[in-house]
């Protein structure tokens, strides 16, 4: 199932408890529900279109073309003010081109315009206080003016729209998960001062976005907030920021400059390292192709260099004790890695997808090698495993097609906890396993190690 269908499916599942075909009355071709106050109404659908990609012919049901919602509507002698658009009202109306919303409307429900493919522009009423979940997701929207009373932009509100530019007014305090995710044509993004929180994956996969200037009011940047914004060239973290999630700028392939503003009490970019370091702990949480790891860094955290395909060399200082999950995932330019010093743990898939990596040396401090740590690094020719290794995770060295020799410095191979298929897809006939003197017999009896046909002491 493609991403578009998946989104609609997720939305429909979320809305199932609210689905109904009834409405209170119909006037001027539009359907309305009377609100509990008896004085106002909400516009609603006549027949709910559950799946946009399975929508019936336009003549059968749904709102088409250009719709003008009136400020007031009369029914059986009573005049009602139109104050809201119900959830999923226009959902899946793929022939809808324009909707004119009156200023009396203060609320637009969840998924109201989801998958309205032909809807390219809409003017939102200036009294609107929230843009709800999925409101315009998967629509053809190309431009939007966000009213200056809106405080929250909900989850997936503009997911996969065709927006080219967006101004976030200062009234907006929170942008929720995936709000603008996959807006691939978004070129201009302006934040007015006032925004405090950017949620998980809020602007992920906005691949046309080049310039990014974060507001000085910002406090939180969520996980993967700008993941795969592959055209962004520079980022400055404001002094106000107190939380940056995992992978916030992962796979930003064009990123060459990362700075933390002076005065930030949580993070720094010491020694012009072109990276973000958590000051109190010494954890490096984000880097780019032009980063270096300064002495004093204690940990390279999850996803820190994810997708930094232009990085060719890696010098890990002796202060580093841990490398997190997917820390160097898909760093396709890396040619040589020496993990020495005080590193005791390499996380899951830390170096997975490092296609140019040829030489791998694991120092004598390392104790744990995580699941898939070097999975499918198919240019590695030689591997050295340090003497202190206590556990090697499943598929840690799977798919090392080019490897010709592995040198293990482990004296007691029986004490090493082995995951499943650690050496899967390595040519056991062509690859020589070098082991410490006096240990060949133990290696030839040990599960997985014994599959190497050439085990040589040295």
- Given this chain, do its domains 1-141 and 309-458 carry the same CATH topology? yes
Residue 162 neighbours by CB distance under 10 Å: 16
Question: What is the predicted pLDDT for the residue at 3?
Answer: 47
User: What is the signed CA dihedral for 68, 69, 72, 74, rounded to 10 degrees?
Assistant: 90
Rounded Cα distance, 134 and 280, in Å? 39
Residue 20 burial (10 A CB sphere; 0-12, 13-18, 19+): exposed
Express as a percent the part of the chain with pLDDT over 70: 93
pLDDT of residue 52: 46
Is residue 359 within 8 Å of residue 336, measured between CB atoms? Answer: yes
Indicate the CATH number for domain 309-458. Answer: 3.80.10.10
- Distance in angstroms (rounded) separating the CA atoms of residues 172 and 157: 14
**Comparison of pLDDT for 314 and 7, the residue scoring more:** 314
pLDDT at 97 over 60: yes
Nearest to 101 by CA among 50, 63, 59: 63
pLDDT digits (tens, 9 = 90+) for 30-56: 999 999 999 999 999 988 776 544 444
Answer whether residue 108 shows pLDDT above 80. yes
Q: What was the pLDDT predicted at 11? A: 53
Q: What pLDDT is stored for residue 361 in this prediction?
A: 86
Would you mind telling me the total number of residues written for the chain in this entry? 458
pLDDT of 350:
96
Average pLDDT of the segment spanning 272-288: 97
Distance (Å) of CA 32 to CA 97, 109, 395: 21, 14, 58
Collapsed DSSP state (helix, strand, coil) of residue 168: strand
Residue 244 has pLDDT above 60, yes or no: yes
Token digits of residue 332: 């396709």
20 pLDDT higher than 50: no
Q: Retrieve residue 100's tokens.
A: 């004119």
CA 80/CA 71 separation, integer angstroms: 9
Residue 55, pLDDT score: 47
Bridge partner residues of 41 (DSSP):
34, 82
What are the pLDDT digits (tens) for 388-432?
999 999 999 999 999 999 999 999 999 999 999 999 999 999 999
311-341 core/surface letters (b: 16 or more CB in 10 A; e: else): beebebeebbbbbbbbbbbbbbebeebebbb
Number of H helices, E strands in the chain: 2, 34
- Mean pLDDT is lowest, of 72-86, 121-135, 257-271, 333-347, for 333-347
Domain boundaries, the chain: 1-141, 309-458
| Each residue's pLDDT tens digit, 169-204 | 999 999 999 999 999 999 999 999 999 999 999 999
Strand pairing of 454-457 and 432-435? Answer: parallel
Q: How confident is the model at residue 381 (pLDDT cuts 50, 70, 90)?
A: very high
Per-residue confidence at 215, pLDDT binned at 50, 70, 90? very high
Q: Is 77's pLDDT higher than 90?
A: yes
Segment 426-454 shows an average pLDDT of 98
> Mean pLDDT lowest for which of 137-151, 258-272, 337-351?
337-351
Q: Which CATH class is domain 1-141?
A: alpha beta
**pLDDT-derived band of residue 22, with 50, 70 and 90 as boundaries?**
confident
Q: How confident is the model at residue 257 (pLDDT cuts 50, 70, 90)?
A: very high
- Of the listed ranges 223-227, 359-363, 418-422, the least confidently predicted one is 359-363
Task: For the beta carbon of residue 378, count every other beta carbon within 10 angstroms.
Answer: 16
Q: Are 452 and 428 in contact (CB under 8 A)?
A: yes
Among 60-64, 257-261, 301-305, 369-373, where is mean pLDDT lowest? 60-64
Distance between CA 438 and CA 458 in Å, rounded? 9
Tokens at residue 15, please? 């809305």
User: Per-residue confidence at 62, pLDDT binned at 50, 70, 90?
Assistant: confident
In terms of Cβ atoms closer than 10 Å to its own Cβ (0-12, 13-18, 19+), residue 134 is: buried
């Amino acid at each position: 199932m493609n991403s578009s269908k998946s989104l609609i499916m997720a939305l429909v599942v979320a809305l199932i408890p609210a689905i109904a075909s009834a409405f209170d009355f119909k006037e001027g071709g539009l359907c309305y529900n009377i609100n509990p106050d008896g004085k106002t109404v909400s516009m609603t659908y006549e027949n709910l279109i559950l799946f946009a990609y399975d929508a019936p012919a336009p003549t059968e049901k749904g709102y088409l073309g250009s719709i003008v919602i009136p400020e007031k509507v009369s029914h059986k002698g009573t005049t009602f003010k139109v104050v809201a658009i119900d959830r999923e009202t226009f959902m899946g109306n793929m022939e809808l081109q324009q909707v004119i919303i009156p200023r009396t409307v203060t609320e637009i429900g969840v998924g109201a315009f989801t998958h309205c493919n032909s809807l390219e522009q809409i003017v939102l009423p200036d009294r609107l206080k929230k843009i709800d979940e999925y409101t315009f997701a998967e629509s053809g929207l190309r431009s939007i003016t966000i009213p200056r009373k809106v405080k929250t932009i909900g989850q997936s509100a503009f997911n996969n729209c065709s927006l080219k530019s967006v101004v976030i007014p200062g009234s907006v305090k929170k942008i929720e998960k995936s709000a603008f995710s996959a807006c691939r044509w978004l070129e201009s993004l302006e934040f007015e001062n006032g925004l405090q929180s950017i949620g998980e994956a809020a602007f992920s996969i906005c691949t046309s976005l080049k310039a990014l200037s974060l507001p000085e009011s910002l406090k939180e940047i969520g996980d993967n907030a700008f993941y795969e914004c592959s055209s962004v060239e520079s980022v400055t973290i404001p002094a106000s920021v107190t939380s940056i999630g995992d992978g916030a700028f992962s796979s930003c392939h064009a990123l060459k400059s990362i700075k933390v503003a002076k005065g930030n009490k949580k993070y720094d970019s010491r020694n012009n390292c072109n990276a973000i370091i958590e000051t109190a702990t010494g954890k490096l949480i984000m880097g780019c192709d032009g980063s270096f790891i300064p002495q004093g860094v204690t940990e390279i955290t999850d996803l820190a260099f994810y997708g930094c395909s232009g990085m060719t060399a890696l010098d890990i200082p002796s202060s580093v004790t841990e490398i997190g999950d997917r820390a160097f995932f898909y760093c396709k330019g890396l040619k040589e890695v020496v993990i020495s010093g005080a590193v005791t743990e390499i996380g899951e898939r830390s170096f997975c997808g490092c296609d140019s990596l040829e030489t791998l040396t694991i120092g004598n401090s390392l104790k744990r090698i995580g699941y898939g740590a070097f999975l499918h690094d198919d240019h590695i020719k030689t591997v050295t495993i340090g003497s202190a290794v206590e556990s090697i995770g499943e598929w840690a060295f799977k798919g090392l097609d080019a490897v010709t020799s592995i040198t293990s410095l482990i004296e007691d191979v029986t004490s090493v906890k082995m995951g499943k298929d650690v050496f899967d897809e390595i040519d056991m006939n062509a690859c020589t396993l070098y082991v410490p003197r006096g240990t060949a017999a133990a290696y030839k009896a040990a599960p997985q190690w014994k599959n190497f046909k050439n085990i040589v002491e040295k």
